[in-house]
Amino acid sequence: MNKKTLRDIEVRNKRVIVRCDFNVPMDGEGNITDDKRIVASIPTIRYLVDHGARVILMSHLGRPKGKVDPKYSMVPVGRRLGELLGREVIVAKDVIGEDARLKSGQMKPGELMLLENVRFHKEETDNDPSFAKELASMAEVFVNDAFGTAHRAHASTEGIAKFLPAVAGFLIEKELEMLGGALEKPDRPFTAVLGGSKVSDKIDVISSLLDKVDNLLIGGGMMFTFLKARGLETGKSIVEDDKVPLAGELMEKAAQRGVKLVLPVDTVVAEAFQNDARHYSVPVERIPRDYMGLDIGEKTRDIFRSIISESKTVVWNGPMGVFEMPNFASGTLEVAKAMAECKGKSIVGGGDSAAAVEQLGFADRMTHVSTGGGASLEFLEGKELPGITVLMDK
């Protein structure tokens, strides 16, 4: 990683403003239902506190659409963070207003303050320079530790770095080392497992990975667009007809590059998109016209498991079937299990795959589970992430 991190700068006695990703799920009563994103930010926060910085934290929560909405207040986040750290977290009543300025001015070394939801201002998502400058005026150093929003050019992720020395926090450092290391210098064989419903969401990822991987395993709803490109009947399965020629081209490209692109040999088909619908497993050559495929079949699971177990690096993005429905979760479960048992590096891209491994109880057995859905996808596509690009180079 060629970006400066916290370790490369002096923070003692300085006001340090940190962009975290505290966009946590809440229930209707305002209780946090999953605090993993808060927990992920703790190494950076502890380091700053232990090194005598005055720490100002900021994040978005939900989609308040540029207006103050008490439902999306950061108060529950501040409370939970205080419990996890075992110390007081001051919560400002605003973002760049009188209360935030007053409280930031009174902070002592080692103290923590959390600003209100930055998305209470539409200027945040507009990346308004004057709003970014106001945020920057409260501090002397900017730390970005929000990988989940690093693909967005917002005022608190990209704009602020134009006004302050900007470095990466430990979470972003870990994400870049894990994802970047897998792409740049993978231990081989290197396998990518891609799922999800649409080929169109993954075109750039597939194209980018075909230059890097040894094996590319395709599952999820997108497999049917590839099967149709092979001339097979796909029944009522989800197919992007306009992407069928492209799927054919990608298979050709894989063959030319010596990449083993592995499509399912069987699928679990159902009469309807319902957990309790009549369902059974069929070879992909025999999908009935009035049925839809909702998971990879048993033989495919065995093939995928075997390839994953022999790999030294595995990157996975996208579920193998409709894992939210128990009858169609087996493919995703088996891939998660295979990755957990893999002796090599197992890296899970964020989003649905991360949710699946958490839900299935395999997260702590992976080498790395990314905190960024869209960000990890764009990183795998080889795109520059604005929130990273703007940080100082080493």
What tens digit of pLDDT does each residue of 308-349 get?
A: 999 999 999 999 999 999 999 999 999 999 999 999 999 998
User: Residue 103 belongs to what domain range?
Assistant: 6-173
Give pLDDT tens digits for 260-280: 999 999 999 999 999 999 999
Q: Is 389 within a domain?
A: no
Per-residue confidence (pLDDT) for residue 100, from 0 to 100: 97
Give pLDDT tens digits for 357-375: 988 889 999 999 998 888 8
> Do 254 and 211 belong together in one domain?
yes
Per-residue confidence (pLDDT) for residue 349, from 0 to 100: 87
Q: Is 222 within a domain?
A: yes
Looking at residue 324, the DSSP 8-state letter turns out to be: T
CA gap 81, 25 in Å, rounded: 15
Q: Is 179 within a domain?
A: no
pLDDT of 29 > 90? The answer is: no
Please list, in sequence order, all residues whose beta carbon lies within 8 angstroms of the beta carbon of residue 368, skipping any fewer than 6 positions away: 174, 175, 178, 179, 345, 346, 347, 348
> Do 305 and 278 belong together in one domain?
yes
> Where is average pLDDT lowest: 102-106, 179-183, 266-270?
179-183
Query: Catalytic annotation on 30?
Result: no
Asked if residue 117 lies in contact with residue 97, where contact means CB atoms within 8 angstroms, the answer is: no
> Do 168 and 247 belong together in one domain?
no
Q: Is 393 within a domain?
A: no
Catalytic-labelled residue, pool 15, 19, 37, 174: 37
- Which of 173, 206, 232 lies at the terminal end of a domain, its last residue? 173
Query: Catalytic annotation on 374?
Result: yes
Per-residue confidence (pLDDT) for residue 62, from 0 to 100: 95
CB crowding 230-242: b at 16 or more within 10 Å, else e? eebebbbbbbbee
Place of tokens 């790999």: 311
**pLDDT, average across residues 277-284:** 97
> Do 206 and 149 belong together in one domain?
no
Q: Is 371 within a domain?
A: yes
Query: Catalytic annotation on 198?
Result: yes
What's the one-letter identity of residue 256? Answer: Q
Domain count, the chain: 2
Q: Is 304 within a domain?
A: yes
Please give the backbone phi and psi of residue 228, each rounded to the nearest 5 degrees, phi first: -65, -35
Average pLDDT of the residues of the chain: 95
> Do 230 and 103 belong together in one domain?
no
Per-residue confidence (pLDDT) for residue 103, from 0 to 100: 96
Report pTM. 0.90
Catalytic-labelled residue, pool 159, 221, 235, 351: 351
Helical (H) or strand (E) element with 293: strand 292-296
Q: Is 206 within a domain?
A: yes
> Do 335 and 369 belong together in one domain?
yes
- Which of 173, 206, 229 lies at the terminal end of a domain, its last residue? 173
Show the tokens assigned to 38. 């808060």
> Do 198 and 146 belong together in one domain?
no
Per-residue confidence (pLDDT) for residue 360, from 0 to 100: 85
> Do 66 and 196 belong together in one domain?
no
Give pLDDT tens digits for 195-251: 998 888 888 899 999 999 999 999 999 999 999 999 999 999 999 999 999 999 999
CA gap 335, 319 in Å, rounded: 9
Looking at residue 393, the DSSP 8-state letter turns out to be: B
In whole angstroms, how large is the CA radius of gyration of the chain? 23
**pLDDT, average across residues 19-37:** 91
> Do 223 and 368 belong together in one domain?
yes
pLDDT of 119 > 90? The answer is: yes
- Which of 110, 139, 173 lies at the terminal end of a domain, its last residue? 173
CA gap 376, 380 in Å, rounded: 6
pLDDT of 1 > 80? The answer is: no
Looking at residue 351, the DSSP 8-state letter turns out to be: T
CATH number, position 192: 3.40.50.1260
> Do 203 and 343 belong together in one domain?
yes
Per-residue confidence (pLDDT) for residue 202, from 0 to 100: 87
Please list, in sequence order, all residues whose beta carbon lies within 8 angstroms of the beta carbon of residue 16, skipping any fewer than 6 positions away: 48, 53, 54, 55, 56, 139, 140, 141, 142, 143
> Do 168 and 38 belong together in one domain?
yes
Helical (H) or strand (E) element with 15: strand 15-19
> Do 145 and 216 belong together in one domain?
no
Catalytic-labelled residue, pool 198, 253, 299, 305: 198
Q: Is 178 within a domain?
A: no
Asked if residue 125 lies in contact with residue 154, where contact means CB atoms within 8 angstroms, the answer is: yes
Decide which of 28 and 298 is more confident: 298
Please give the backbone phi and psi of residue 275, each rounded to the nearest 5 degrees, phi first: -60, -40
Please list, in sequence order, all residues whose beta carbon lies within 8 angstroms of the beta carbon of residue 292, skipping any fewer than 6 positions away: 235, 236, 237, 238, 269, 270, 272, 273
Catalytic-labelled residue, pool 62, 248, 374, 382: 374
